Homo-oligomer: A and B are copies of this chain.
Amino acid sequence: MNADKRGQKIRVHPRLSASNYWLVMSDILLALDYGGTKLSAAIARRDEREWLALERVMSPPNKDATWDQETMRALARRVLNRRAPIAIGISFGGPVDAAHGRVILSHHFPGWENIALREQWQDEFNVPASVDNDANVGALGEFTFGAGQVETLYATSLPVRASSLLYITVRTGVGGGWILDGKIWRGADAMAGEIGHTIYDPRGPECVCGRRGCVEVMACGPAIARDARTRGLQIDPLTGESVARAANAGDPIARAVMDDAARALGFGIGTAITLINPTRVVIGGGVSKSGERWWSVVRASARSNTLPQIRTDIVPAALGDDAPLWGAIALARELI
């Protein structure tokens, strides 16, 4: 195999000069996560499952796309430390047109309308890049490196991978992403996985989406705080996390609030299981750390809302906040 052919195989960009050719012979993958509250960049070798370097920055209030882009560029340079990546995977916290590598918009910050994020990063490092929204990328991360590994019943067997998975994050909102038959399932309009906007109670509170009683507006962190306030729970600060702590300490109002939120989420999960029957449902995000009682109510509610023949299990996310970063590594691996 001559140098040219080797070059083609690892997709050297035509603009790459001879002088830094050796750089792309590395096996380093760059993962970027544009989250709602923080930005993260990390690198890992293609066949390893540990970070070579990882950097995070919390977002200031009132940030915009320019701040995001400049900060992420600095983070990437810092984790790379003059090494060159061979491919880039990108997770974005908002709607993405993955086929064209474009961010559609951010629901939280201005300046993200119709941004060619994939192309920007391809041009930055002259290597292929791939971008998708954080729910899909997180689902791919858990599937490839985390809770998608299903233990077998036979002690002598290696763990096998689930063939399908619904990944749900419960924090300030409720997001969802599907892996079906080993691949991200995006749907015809790239809108699949919106379990947060399936309806639990048509007479419930109004949701950001304009309808009433969506799973999100009944089960996310702010919903828990809102319900606790309505029922007169006196703690300060009043957040999803503090209500969960009060519930675990035995406060009856806090328990009732947490149970209701868990029941709403379980209802949505039961419906998703009845419709698609994935191997696993994986739940991450801050609210999923609310303790054993929350988990048992979620599981019982999901179980009572599906058919008894279905054995889909419901498990905690294994990668925590790193799921989108590891999913970005999996996206990048697909490019090489």
Residues of chain A touching chain B, judged by Cβ–Cβ distance below 8 Å, are: 95, 162-164, 176, 178, 180-181, 185-195, 197-199, 209, 211, 267, 270-272, 274-279, 304-307, 309-312
Give, as a whole number of angstroms, the nearest-CB distance from A163 to chain B: 7
A187-B307 contact in complex given A180-B180, A198-B271, C-beta closer than 8 Å: no
B311 touches A275 (CB 8 A): no
A185 touches B311 (CB 8 A): no
A211 touches B271 (CB 8 A): no
A188-B163 contact in complex given A199-B305, A274-B197, C-beta closer than 8 Å: yes
B276 touches A276 (CB 8 A): yes
Copies of this protein in the assembly total 2
Residues of B within 8 A of A271 (CB): 198-199, 271, 275
Report the bound CA distance from A189 to B313 in whole Å.
11
Report the bound CA distance from A244 to B244 in whole Å.
50
Report the bound CA distance from A105 to B191 in whole Å.
36
Partner of A189, one of B95, B195, B267, B309: B309
A188 touches B279 (CB 8 A): yes
A312-B274 contact in complex given A180-B180, A304-B211, C-beta closer than 8 Å: no
A275 touches B193 (CB 8 A): yes
Identify the closest chain B residue to A166 (Cβ).
Answer: B275
Extra 19 A-B pairs, beta carbons < 8 Å, given A187-B276, A197-B307: A163-B188, A164-B187, A180-B181, A186-B277, A188-B312, A189-B277, A189-B309, A189-B312, A190-B277, A191-B274, A192-B275, A192-B277, A194-B307, A197-B306, A198-B271, A198-B274, A271-B271, A275-B275, A276-B276
A277 touches B164 (CB 8 A): no
Give 13 pairs: A residue, B residue, CB < 8 Å, sorted on A.
Answer: A162-B188, A163-B188, A180-B185, A181-B185, A188-B277, A189-B309, A189-B310, A189-B311, A191-B309, A194-B275, A197-B274, A197-B307, A271-B275
Report the bound CA distance from A198 to B191 in whole Å.
20
Give, as a whole number of angstroms, the nearest-CB distance from A230 to chain B: 22
Give, as a whole number of angstroms, the nearest-CB distance from A50 to chain B: 31
Report the bound CA distance from A322 to B20 in whole Å.
63
B305 touches A195 (CB 8 A): no
B279 touches A276 (CB 8 A): no
Report the bound CA distance from A193 to B163 in whole Å.
17
Residues of B within 8 A of A306 (CB): 197
Residues of B within 8 A of A162 (CB): 188
A275 touches B272 (CB 8 A): yes
Residues of B within 8 A of A197 (CB): 274, 306-307
Residues of B within 8 A of A187 (CB): 164, 276-278, 310
Report the bound CA distance from A331 to B35 in whole Å.
45
Q: Which interface residue of A186, A187, A310 has the most chain B CB atoms within 10 A?
A: A187
